[in-house]
């Protein structure tokens, strides 16, 4: 597995390790619980896999010309390793209520599937831009991996905060 995606997998596993289901579903009013955060990540990995499958089916990279806004966003996220807070999740990545045990058990499998298909596309199409990200625009395989690590770290921090808050609220960990 690519080292960035391995780091992502380890960070997520560490964040939820030993967290019982009742703690996974606890959340402050109006915020996602840890299970929903994990499901959001699971859905982003699923979407990335589907996007790269479309690239393979097309037999060519699926990229458009980046807008100035996308270039700036990509610079902020990938250049400065910063994921701005408060952005609404794209509709297809909003949690739908998948069972906690499924998301917890399958997120590492999704990361592995994502790693495999990104590597396959990179081997076939080289190191150029290969697939558009819905917010950042066209990215290389390496940039996709880096995006998922930065995005995952952002949400690991949320899970760890929820873990601490739930503990403070009398939930068991």
Instruction: Give the predicted TM-score (pTM) of the model.
Output: 0.94
- What is the token pair recorded at 146? 């880096």
Beta bridge partners of 140: 129
Instruction: Look up tokens 């990104």; give the residue.
Output: 118
The token duo for 125 is 């199409």
Through-space distance between the first and last CA atoms of the chain, rounded to whole angstroms: 30
**Helix H segments across the chain?**
3-16, 21-24, 34-58, 68-74, 100-125, 141-168
What backbone torsions phi and psi does residue 40 show, to the nearest 5 degrees?
A: -55, -45
| Six token digits for residue 105 | 């058990």
pLDDT (tens, 9 = 90+) of the chain, 173 residues, equals: 999 999 999 999 999 999 998 899 999 999 999 999 999 999 999 999 999 999 999 999 999 999 999 999 999 999 999 999 888 999 999 999 999 999 999 999 999 999 999 999 999 999 999 999 999 999 999 999 999 999 999 999 999 999 888 655 544 43
Which CATH number is associated with domain 3-60+81-126+143-168?
1.20.120
pLDDT at 1: 97
* pLDDT (0 to 100) of residue 21: 87
Sequence-distant (≥ 6) Cβ neighbours of residue 46 within 8 angstroms: 110
Alpha-carbon span 66 to 42, nearest angstrom? 26
């Amino acid at each position: 597995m690519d080292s960035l995606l391995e780091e992502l997998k380890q960070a997520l596993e560490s964040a939820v390790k030993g967290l019982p289901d009742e703690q996974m579903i606890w959340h402050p009013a109006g915020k996602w619980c840890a299970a929903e955060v994990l499901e959001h990540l699971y859905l982003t990995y699923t979407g990335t896999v589907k996007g790269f499958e479309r690239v393979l089916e097309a037999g060519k990279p699926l990229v458009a010309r980046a807008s100035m806004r996308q270039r700036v966003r990509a610079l902020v996220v990938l250049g400065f390793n910063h994921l701005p807070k408060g952005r609404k999740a794209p509709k297809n990545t909003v949690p739908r209520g998948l069972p906690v045990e499924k998301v917890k058990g399958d997120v590492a499998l999704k990361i592995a599937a994502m790693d495999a298909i990104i590597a396959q596309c990179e081997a076939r199409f080289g190191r150029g831009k290969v697939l558009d990200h819905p917010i950042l625009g066209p990215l290389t395989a390496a940039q996709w991996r880096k995006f998922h690590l930065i995005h995952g770290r952002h949400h690991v921090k949320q899970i760890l905060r929820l873990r601490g808050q739930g503990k403070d609220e009398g939930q068991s960990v």
